[in-house]
């Protein structure tokens, strides 16, 4: 499912709204989630999951081409942990 399919599905659920409303809603939700994560804030959606940042300490890496050592700086990467309902529903059909 892509973003435009998600928008179309949502618009179909709300017959009183026009497609543009669903489009603005999806954009507003995703922008807000990105803004929060980008500033290091957590997101917690009950039944879906939580987003947070994971810290990766600086390490000594290697350039795979030349084999020379390079210092890889510390970084923060977005992390998602599925919530109970999502975990259970996704696991049901294997």
- Asked if 51 contacts 43 with a C-beta cutoff of 8 angstroms, the reply is yes
Among 19, 42, 59, 72, binds other proteins (CB under 8 A): 42
Nearest-approach distance from CB 67 to other proteins, in angstroms: 26
Q: Nearest-5° angle of CA 54, CA 42, CA 84? A: 90
List 15, 18, 19, 48, residue binding other proteins (CB under 8 A): 48
If binding means CB under 8 A, how many residues of this protein chain bind other proteins?
A: 57
Query: At closest approach, how far in Å is the CB of 11 from other proteins?
Result: 10
- Residue among 46, 59, 68, 72 that touches other proteins (CB under 8 A): 46
How far from chain centre, in Å, is Cα 68?
A: 34
Q: Would you count residue 94 as binding other proteins (CB under 8 A)? A: yes
């Amino acid at each position: 499912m892509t973003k435009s399919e998600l928008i179309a599905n949502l618009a179909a659920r709300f017959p009183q709204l026009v497609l543009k409303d669903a489009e603005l809603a999806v954009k507003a939700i995703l922008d807000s989630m990105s803004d929060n994560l980008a500033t290091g804030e957590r997101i917690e959606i009950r039944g879906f999951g939580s987003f947070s940042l994971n810290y990766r300490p600086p390490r000594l890496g290697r350039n795979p081409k030349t084999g020379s050592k390079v210092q890889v700086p510390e970084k923060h990467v977005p992390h998602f942990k599925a919530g109970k309902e999502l975990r259970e529903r996704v696991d049901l059909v294997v």
